[in-house]
A and B are shown apart, each in its own frame.
Chain A
Amino acid sequence: MSDPSRPAGGRVTTPYEGRVAVWDDDAAIEAPLRLHRTTAPPEWMDYNDHMSESCYLLAFGDSADAFFRFLGIDEAYRAAGHSLYTSETHLHHRHEVALGEPLEMTVQLLDHDRRRLHLFHEMRHGDTGTLLACAEQLLVHVDMDQGRSTDLPDQLLERLEALAAAHAGLPRPDVVGRPMGIRR
């Protein structure tokens, strides 16, 4: 398996590091959110010149990071001791991705409670719109000092309510909530 890590800094980074979160109460909320576009880079390719499996999760992770900043979770929020941790991901690979293909990511809020978010991510070809991959992600709000889950602050819960209302009319994708299995 090729090494998909990005060279910069010798660790896993995201393109949104350092970008400060700015929520606008009056702005219309896209349904689904389109917060991240990218182009499949050479370091994501395997020996067959197709995107490595784990790089689908890198791309979804970058889109999730853009989503965190959209919601209000940036470096300052994390420095104050809280963050969203991934608790589960369930990824569906639909098509191979080749070097240089434009990738357009979307995020849909499926469900949430006071400390958990269930997101649905799609990766589509930026020109043709073909669905390349999709993923469910379950996130938990964590108090990093205590090392345990904790409720989101009211301000972020209000934003999630607004987001949930904006996404209420979106269709629920058929893979959502479905366990992996061989169906006959």
Chain B
Amino acid sequence: MPETSIAAPFTAYREQVRPEWLDYNGHLGDASYSIVLSAAHELVLEALGLSADYRESHHASMFTVETHIRYLAECGAGQTLSAETFVVEADRKRLRLHSDLSADGVLVATGESLYLHVDTAAGRTTPLPEDRQRLVDAMRGAHAGLPRPPHLGLGVGVRP
């Protein structure tokens, strides 16, 4: 895949808020943000050849080991969700993605996922095959110039 064809950031995800995602207040529930984040990141994995077909053909899969969500605003029924995603970092076994999640163009959350590449038959981490590694490296390269939000280096805490 030539680098020029890689969107920076990656913006394929678009979906209407579903009624079953809403809580008692009619707002998107905490866990529902993670459904949206997973769905947006799954499209990135698909572009990297690491989604459902890959699991079938290679008996390997990207496992989520960490998810960090910052809730910034409420959103609800009738709104359209979208994501701007970039590769924060990656090595031969690990991939870290960051997304801005928006509702009708207004930022409502940021989310990060850390994935491990796992050989599902052996039940342990294993390096990506070379062709997939090239795709990951190309996307990481295409995203290298994007601005890094300051919260990337912060853990959770009660700060003054």
Contacts and interface: CB of A to CB of B under 8 A. Distances in A.
Interface of A: 1, 3-5, 10-13, 17, 53-55, 57-58, 61, 85-93, 111-113, 116-118, 136-138, 176-182, 184
A1 B19 contact: no
B158 A138 contact: yes
A53 B114 contact: no
B81 to A, nearest CB: 14
Contacts of B42: 1
B35 interface: yes
Interface stretch (B1-9, B22-30, B99-107, B130-138): B22-30
Contacts of A3: 20
Nearest to A119: B156
B47 interface: no
A15 to B, nearest CB: 13
Nearest to B157: A177
Interface of B: 18-24, 29-32, 34-35, 38-39, 42, 63-71, 89-91, 94, 96, 112, 114, 152-158
B94 A182 contact: yes
7 contacts: A12-B22, A87-B70, A93-B65, A177-B156, A178-B155, A179-B68, A180-B112
Contacts of A91: 34, 66-68
Given A10-B19, A55-B31, A138-B158, 14 more contacts: A5-B18, A53-B34, A53-B38, A53-B67, A57-B30, A57-B67, A86-B30, A90-B69, A91-B68, A93-B64, A111-B157, A113-B158, A116-B158, A181-B114
Contacts of B89: 181-182
A90 B68 CA distance: 4
Contacts of A54: 31-32, 34-35, 38
The 8 closest A-B pairs by CB, nearest first: A5-B20, A57-B31, A12-B29, A177-B155, A54-B34, A136-B156, A90-B68, A58-B31
* Main SS class of interface, A: mixed
Nearest to B36: A54
Contact of B71 (A4, A13, A85, A181): A85
Given A90-B66, A180-B112, A11 B31 contact: no
Contacts of A111: 157-158
B69 to A, nearest CB: 5
Given A89-B69, A90-B66, A111-B157, A12 B91 contact: no
Contacts of B39: 1
